[in-house]
Amino acid sequence: MQTVLFVDDTIQTLESYKAMFAGQQGKWLPYFADNAGEAMDIIEERTIDIIITDLEMPIIDGVKLLKLVKEKSPITIRVLLSGCTNEIQVLESANLAHQIFAKPSCFKEINYLLERSLYLHSIKLSSNARKVLTKLGSIPAVPAILNQVMESISKENFSLREIGHLISTDLSMSIGILRLVNTPYFGLDHKITSVEQAVSLLGLDVIKPLIISIHFFETFGTIDQKQMEDLLNHSATTGRFCRAIFQYEKMGQKECDRAFITGFMHDIGRVIMMDLYPKQYILAIETALETKCGTDIAEKRLMQATHAEIGAFMLGLWGLDDELIEAVHFHHSPSTAKCENPLLLASLHCADLFDVEINGTHHFCGCDNLDVRFLEKHGLLDKEEHWLAACHKENDR
């Protein structure tokens, strides 16, 4: 059973949280504290999966509490509730909280977060994978600029131009977005010269995950630059191939964009593995090629965790949708998934392998084989040759 800890110095608010859990027995084991000291006592005694704390509290406020939680329990999901308009305080808290919700109308968002966390729990992240995340020190939080973007989107009459201008105030993020969207791997027909133009052209459904990805790649700047460049190229190519498959299937623009993002983010767990286990990860790649197995199998042997399960957990924590998470989690082994969206999972599985077949990128897929049983089960096996042809065409652009 998942555990959640609510911290608020207002008794009425704590009573509201207790009422929210009425009738939800069996899903959650809730704990409540009216100050940071009591909250830390609870964390000392038991494992807490999620902490949801108010920002403004006497003596030890929410920011200081989250700093303590980060040190004591790094894999606890940290959520901050804020009615604060102090920009500096919000930015400081954004670097500590995985999610920030505005008060007072946050109960709907909290319910949604808790439901998502149940889904993350259903991923059954292995104990070894949890150790990997613990070794990381803390689970990376959503970048501060994304929280500002989401706050702007929630307002009436927001414009894409305004969102683009907001993002452009973050120089590092602006450079990252423009550098990425102007690479051949992104597949655009003309040069993008401003963030505002990128936002207007690509839309928020693409830009939001790009912000997360760029922030994430920048967080792990110690990784060998050549390895990181190769991974970015493979990720972008896989995204383009996923989109090409969806275009072949005559899916709508929104679905095609979602397919691209799924492909682009599918190997984000590798970044953590490459950062924490640089030597072992190179050995895993070499082992996969020598023994003719998939890199995920080699990862399991050498590090007892896979990039797919860690990546899926990270994307779920950051609020990506369940079907995308499932595709990332099972892209090496589709037959083991419950499968909410067979086309998305199949396109990612195939696109990942097609990059090997078309461009020879074995160091990211090892010697994986096509999951014929999965494709046949969902009536997609006869599509494989057509999808490959569509990806060849996309690759030649």
Domains and CATH numbers, the chain: 2-122 (3.40.50.2300), 144-395 (1.10.3210.10)
Q: pTM of the entire structure?
A: 0.74
For residue 135, the model assigns a pLDDT of 65
pLDDT of 248 above 90:
yes
CA dist 81 and 8 (Å) reads 9
The rounded radius of gyration (Å) of the Cα atoms in the chain is 21
Residue 378 dihedral angles phi and psi, to the nearest 5°: -100, 15
pLDDT band at 159 (very low <50, low <70, confident <90, very high): confident
Which residue in the block uniquely carries the two structure tokens 């995920």?
A: 296
CA dist 205 and 258 (Å) reads 7
For residue 383, the model assigns a pLDDT of 96
Contact 207, 150 (CB under 8 A): no
Contact 217, 271 (CB under 8 A): yes
Mean pLDDT of 213-228: 75
Cα 286–chain centre separation: 27
pLDDT of 197 above 60:
yes
Integer angstrom CA distances of residue 222 from 15, 131, 218, 363: 46, 21, 9, 20
Which strand ranges, in their side-by-side order, compose the sheet holding 77-82?
A: 28-33, 2-7, 50-54, 77-82, 99-102
CA dist 162 and 84 (Å) reads 22
For residue 334, the model assigns a pLDDT of 94
For residue 138, the model assigns a pLDDT of 56
For residue 92, the model assigns a pLDDT of 60
pLDDT of 380 above 90:
yes
Per-residue pLDDT reduced to its tens digit, 199-208: 888 888 788 8
Token duo for residue 304: 């007892």
Higher pLDDT, 157 or 42: 42
CA neighbor of 337 nearest in space, from 371, 383, 367? 371
Per-residue pLDDT reduced to its tens digit, 128-150: 777 676 666 556 666 677 777 87
Mean pLDDT of 226-254: 90
CA dist 133 and 137 (Å) reads 7
For residue 233, the model assigns a pLDDT of 84
pLDDT band at 21 (very low <50, low <70, confident <90, very high): confident
For residue 99, the one-letter residue type is: Q
Token duo for residue 151: 């706050």
CA dist 81 and 99 (Å) reads 9
Higher pLDDT, 158 or 11: 11
Token duo for residue 299: 């990862």
Which residue in the block uniquely carries the two structure tokens 């275009």?
A: 247
Integer angstrom CA distances of residue 283 from 121, 289, 290: 30, 10, 10
In degrees, rounded to 5, the angle at the alpha carbon of residue 253 between the alpha carbons of residues 169 and 344 is 100
